[in-house]
């Protein structure tokens, strides 16, 4: 007999575990999952369970009473966090008056001055279920029509409030965003509860997928906890966005992350200075946010368990509709790890030549000397690691400077590239409402992001760009998000206006960037000059090493981050060893170490934006796998012959048509079906990545053997 813990939380403010036999219920529910999977997925991948509020034995929660998680602390008053939240229009009148004159986006444009605008415009979906004469399928159809209309309104309000806040970090804008986010969450919870009343049996594939999508939530049932989490999240992201590192004895000489610290890590080769900046950035954020971050994790786990998931990590993994996502990504890493170990060994040798005894030739690499504040990309140490230093450098920045490119020109180049393969031009509002560079008169969140703000064509980007190769890449990446938005906004209903999975979204722009940031394309643009045919092989090895420093080095970074966070969610890593657990993962996957001793007073994970903001990160690992699969498929469609890394599919309408068809699917199908649409394969694999880097892999193996380099670390 099968026992479960069925969570009943409709009105109660406490969580209660109720133990009883749900054999009949489970059999019906499980048959619905199988039916959905094998009738609706061409690839016939097993669907993950979780859209039901049922906790199974495999979740590890049998006989786990959730009452123990919701203590008086969980319901602590949030008074003092933001006393002005409940009456935002009454707070700080002087600030509000001047603020309204300066903001790019006014409250009346967002429509948040009266949250009831949306609520009054909603048709009550609960009434649909009372029409007893209707069949279940008819009721679902009516429910979905109403839900779609309301969802669009809420998404736009919430998105505009968020964009406004991140492009103008004021107390007023933060209050508005908090209020809208809470109202949106409350509405979603109500709709999620309504969607659980419908049976999946008898629905068509699209209806089933929509209802299951609506049911998915990990929000806490208790409004006070939701409010507390939003306030704390806004507070710690504000700390992150305003963080700076100041010179010793010069408190007014400070560096923010962008562009100050980015440039320092890219250019400085002074070991002590890099230690100062590395430690200073982490000191400016980690200890200040750790307590709030720990509390947010606790609240997130309460919400996840209330909704039938083992923890928040299990809910996040649901996005990939796989029961074994952790095993899948670890298997992909096993395929890539031998290549990474060769790269790590070669880079360590070169860094030892640069920094001497600071780098042990058989140990992990100090994290401060890899050219980037988190060591997630090693691209900026290319000058140290260049295989053939006497061969003409891959000087993209120099070429862009010679052509007098402006920041705006980078976006025009990206737009032209996408149009050349048959994708649409960016709408007029994109150019009018996006934030391309850092404003001089206000604080903003500079971290590059793309925004889908409703009305089908209101897509924007937000970044603090500069004219260099890194931003040429980033601009193509973010505009790729916008192309994905435009494709599925036009083709899909609101529930399916999302990526096939989160990794797909990140992969789209990176796929284009692989075609753009390569010698073939850059020569077409006149940024690079033709090379001497006698040094062509050396040029290719230099180019591939540059790409590997960026792409291959990222795989273990992303996997270490998310495996750490999954372990925090599950309780394998506790608040007593958050920082130690972080560095254990960094050592295991990346082979790096902190340049100075660390303790549990520190919170080094908080120095990464995605940890502070609560953004799932495995999407980037998945994206880096998918981009090479997408790229190889598009190159074949474009008729490319020869080494994969030299393919440029610009101008291929055949490739662009296939690409657009995949983008337009949104999340309407299981991601494996969407992948098959372009690649002909239902599975992620590392083969395309390894083929792209084949010449470099062979070169590294020979070079490390010649130098006698140790592979791995002690």
Residues annotated in a binding site for Zn(2+): 477, 481, 506
697, 348 contact by CB (below 8 A): no
Backbone angles phi, psi at 603, to 5 degrees: -145, 75
Q: What is the Rg, in whole angstroms, of the alpha carbon atoms belonging to the chain? A: 26
Burial 320-351 (b: 16+ CB within 10 A, else e): bbbbebbebbeebbeebbebbbbbbbbbbbbb
Cis amide leading into 259 (omega within 30): yes
Q: Which residues are known binding-site members? A: 320, 477, 481, 506, 619
Query: Catalytic residue among 64, 352, 358, 610, which?
Result: 610
Q: Which residue is associated with the tokens 């939380």?
A: 9
689, 675 contact by CB (below 8 A): no
478 is a catalytic site residue: yes
Cα distances (Å, whole numbers) of residue 324 to 37, 48, 380, 569? 15, 9, 35, 17
468, 397 contact by CB (below 8 A): yes
Q: Which residues are known binding-site members for chloride? A: 320, 619
Burial class (CB in 10 A: 0-12, 13-18, 19+), 402: exposed
**CA–CA separation, 268 vs 355, rounded Å?**
12
Find all residues with CB under 8 Å of 160, minimum gap 6, and list them.
Answer: 105, 109, 110, 111, 112, 453
Burial 662-682 (b: 16+ CB within 10 A, else e): bbbbbbbbbbbbbbbbbbeeb
- Count of CB atoms within 10 A of residue 71's CB? 11
Cα angle value 615/116/182 (rounded, 5°) = 25
Burial 448-479 (b: 16+ CB within 10 A, else e): bbbbbbbeebbbbbbbbbbbbbbbbbbbbbbb
Query: Catalytic residue among 478, 562, 627, 632, which?
Result: 478
49, 56 contact by CB (below 8 A): yes
Residue 714 per-residue DSSP state: -
Pull the structure tokens for residue 297: 């994790």
**CA–CA separation, 141 vs 143, rounded Å?**
5
Find all residues with CB under 8 Å of 87, minimum gap 6, and list them.
Answer: none
Q: Which helix (H) or strand (E) holds 6?
A: strand 3-7
96, 89 contact by CB (below 8 A): yes
Helix (H, G, I), strand (E, B) or coil at 18: strand
Q: Which residue is associated with the tokens 């699917």?
A: 665
Handedness of CA 663, 667, 670, 671 (dihedral sign): positive
**CA–CA separation, 460 vs 478, rounded Å?**
9
**CA–CA separation, 713 vs 586, rounded Å?**
12
Find all residues with CB under 8 Å of 254, minimum gap 6, and list them.
Answer: 244, 245, 246, 247, 260
Find all residues with CB under 8 Å of 94, minimum gap 6, and list them.
Answer: none
Find all residues with CB under 8 Å of 466, minimum gap 6, and list them.
Answer: 259, 407, 437
610 is a catalytic site residue: yes
379, 394 contact by CB (below 8 A): no
203, 140 contact by CB (below 8 A): yes
Cα distances (Å, whole numbers) of residue 562 to 230, 325, 506, 586, 712? 22, 12, 16, 11, 22
Pull the structure tokens for residue 560: 């270490």
Active site residues per annotation: 478, 610
């Amino acid at each position: 007999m099968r026992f479960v813990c069925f969570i009943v939380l409709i009105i109660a403010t406490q969580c209660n575990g109720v133990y009883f036999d749900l054999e009949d219920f489970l059999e019906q529910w499980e048959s619905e999952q199988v039916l959905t999977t094998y009738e609706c997925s061409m690839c016939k991948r097993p669907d993950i369970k979780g859209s039901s509020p049922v906790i199974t034995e495999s979740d590890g929660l049998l006989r786990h009473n959730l009452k123990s998680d919701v203590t008086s602390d969980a319901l602590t008053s949030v008074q003092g966090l933001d006393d002005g939240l409940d009456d935002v229009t009454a707070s700080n009148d002087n600030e509000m008056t001047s603020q309204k004159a300066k903001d790019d986006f006014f409250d009346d444009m967002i429509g948040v001055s009266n949250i009831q605008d949306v609520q009054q415009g909603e048709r009550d979906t609960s009434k649909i279920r009372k029409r007893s004469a209707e069949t279940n399928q008819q009721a679902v159809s009516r429910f979905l029509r109403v839900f779609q209309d309301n969802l669009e309104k809420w998404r736009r309000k919430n998105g505009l409030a968020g964009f406004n806040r991140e492009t103008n970090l004021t107390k007023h804008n933060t209050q508005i965003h908090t209020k809208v986010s809470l109202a949106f969450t409350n509405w979603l919870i109500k709709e999620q509860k309504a969607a659980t009343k419908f049976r999946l049996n008898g629905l068509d594939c699209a209806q089933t997928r929509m209802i299951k999508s609506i049911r998915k939530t990990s929000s806490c049932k208790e409004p006070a906890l939701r409010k507390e989490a939003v306030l704390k999240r806004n507070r710690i992201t504000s700390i992150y966005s305003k963080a700076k590192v100041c010179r010793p004895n010069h408190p007014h000489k400070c560096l923010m992350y962008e562009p100050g610290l980015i440039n320092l890590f890219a250019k400085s080769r002074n070991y002590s200075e890099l230690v100062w900046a590395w430690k200073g950035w982490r000191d400016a954020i980690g200890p200040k946010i750790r307590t709030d971050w720990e509390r947010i994790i606790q609240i997130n786990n309460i919400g996840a368990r209330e909704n039938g998931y083992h923890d928040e990590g299990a809910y996040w993994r649901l996005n990939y509709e796989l029961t074994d996502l952790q095993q899948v990504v670890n298997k992909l890493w096993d395929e890539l790890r031998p290549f990474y170990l060769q790269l790590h060994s070669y880079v360590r040798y070169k860094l030892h030549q640069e920094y001497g005894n600071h780098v042990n030739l058989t140990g992990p690499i100090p994290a401060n000397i890899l050219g980037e504040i988190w060591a997630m990309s090693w691209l900026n140490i290319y000058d140290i690691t260049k295989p053939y230093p006497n061969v003409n450098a891959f000087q993209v920045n120099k070429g862009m400077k010679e052509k007098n490119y402006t920041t705006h020109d980078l976006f025009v180049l990206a737009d032209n590239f996408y149009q050349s393969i048959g994708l649409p031009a960016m709408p007029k509002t994109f150019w009018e409402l996006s934030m391309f560079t850092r404003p001089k008169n206000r604080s903003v969140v500079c971290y590059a992001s793309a925004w889908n703000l409703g009305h089908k064509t209101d897509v924007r980007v937000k970044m603090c760009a500069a004219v260099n190769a890194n931003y040429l890449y980033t601009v193509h990446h973010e505009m790729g998000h916008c192309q994905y938005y435009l494709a599925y906004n036009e083709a899909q209903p609101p529930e399916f206006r999302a990526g096939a999975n989160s990794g797909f979204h990140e992969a789209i722009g990176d796929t284009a960037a692989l075609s753009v940031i390569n010698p073939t394309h850059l020569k077409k643009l006149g940024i690079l000059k033709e090379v001497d045919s006698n040094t062509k092989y050396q040029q290719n090895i230099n180019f591939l090493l540059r790409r590997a420093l960026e792409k291959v080095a990222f795989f273990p970074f992303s996997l270490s981050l998310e495996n750490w966070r999954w372990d925090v969610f599950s309780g394998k890593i506790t608040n007593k060893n958050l920082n130690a657990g972080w560095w254990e993962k960094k050592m295991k996957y990346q082979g790096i170490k902190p340049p100075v001793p660390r303790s549990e007073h520190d919170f080094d994970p908080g120095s990464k934006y995605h940890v502070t903001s609560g953004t799932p990160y495995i999407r980037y690992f998945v994206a880096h796998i998918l981009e090479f699969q997408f790229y190889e498929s598009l190159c074949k469609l474009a008729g490319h012959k020869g080494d994969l890394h030299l393919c440029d599919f610009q101008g291929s309408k055949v490739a662009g048509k296939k690409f657009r068809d995949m983008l337009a699917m949104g999340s309407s199908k299981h991601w494996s079906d969407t992948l098959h649409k372009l690649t002909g394969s239902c599975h992620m694999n590392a083969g395309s990545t390894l083929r792209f880097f084949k010449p470099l892999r062979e070169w590294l193996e020979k070079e490390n053997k010649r130098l006698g380099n140790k592979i791995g670390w002690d």
